A = this chain, B = another copy of it.
């Protein structure tokens, strides 16, 4: 896992992934007490950064292997990314999704042409379901974060942040990244280490699912006791990945932990002041910038809005709080 893999992934996804800008609003700056720059990956293909990693992984497969099809486990954003990337490579995708995933994510994954297999999070093992399907059909598993070509794809987001930060003269900023298994966070961290070493990555997590925060504090991997119970569905993982953790440990500053209510409030601020649709997990980093300002240093903060795949009913909850 190195910077050259990220640069190679950037070359492969060019013209297929959206090159997202940095956007901002003076009103957000007032709340945060500093300049807030937003990387809107909700505008990415399939509505989240996950498309970057999925396309990177699919495009790196041997054509004969890829032609047999791929399989992925995902509550939704990785699912959609793999589904569209598979379609763009003229191959098939089976996506194993928990039955309590947001309906919009299930519907969209099917609409991108994938074969969706639902399972019960509490009583069934997705690994067993997946292993059986892989064996039967010769499918290649595309892991959501513990996979070098996926991390390389997510890292392309960091290359763009570094490029734009240089263009805007941003120095010494914290870069807050919505963090689940750590694929996006570790990919961005590697890209910034190479291209913008003055920018420091800070993971953002929801309370109760702050495994990376506690792992960074302890210096070793810590797990979350619960598997569900936050609205931030996109970033609920049990623990940092075996491949992402060493990168997070080496390169990230302290993580920031926000509440579900703060995620909703950040969604409302993105609606009002950025005209962007963020999903709860995708708003975690913005929430940290706005409501954990005392834990941040520097005149600038850069945050990812990592996804925007939110059901209307959940978005209404954010609007009602405004």
Interface set of A (CB-CB < 8 Å, partner B): 18-19, 21, 23, 26-27, 40, 42-43, 47, 84, 104, 108, 111-112, 268, 271-272, 274-278, 308, 312, 315-316, 319-320, 322
Query: B276, B312, B316, B322: which contacts A277 (Cβ < 8 A)?
Result: B276
A47 touching B316 by the CB < 8 A rule?
A: no
Quick one: closest B residue to A275, CB to CB? B308
Shortest distance between the CB of A237 and any CB in chain B (Å): 23
Query: Which one of A84, A104, A276 has the highest number of Cβ atoms from chain B below 10 Å of its Cβ?
Result: A276
Given contacts A27-B108, A312-B320, 7 further A-B contacts (CB under 8 A): A18-B21, A21-B21, A26-B84, A271-B315, A275-B277, A275-B308, A319-B319
Q: Return chain B residues, CB-CB under 8 Å to A104.
A: 272
Whole-angstrom CA separation of A316 from B315 in the bound complex:
9
A271 touching B111 by the CB < 8 A rule?
A: no
Q: Return chain B residues, CB-CB under 8 Å to A18.
A: 21, 23
B277 touching A27 by the CB < 8 A rule?
A: no
Whole-angstrom CA separation of A256 from B19 in the bound complex:
32
A43 touching B319 by the CB < 8 A rule?
A: no
Query: Which one of A18, A23, A312 has the highest number of Cβ atoms from chain B below 10 Å of its Cβ?
Result: A312
B308 touching A319 by the CB < 8 A rule?
A: no
Whole-angstrom CA separation of A272 from B108 in the bound complex:
10
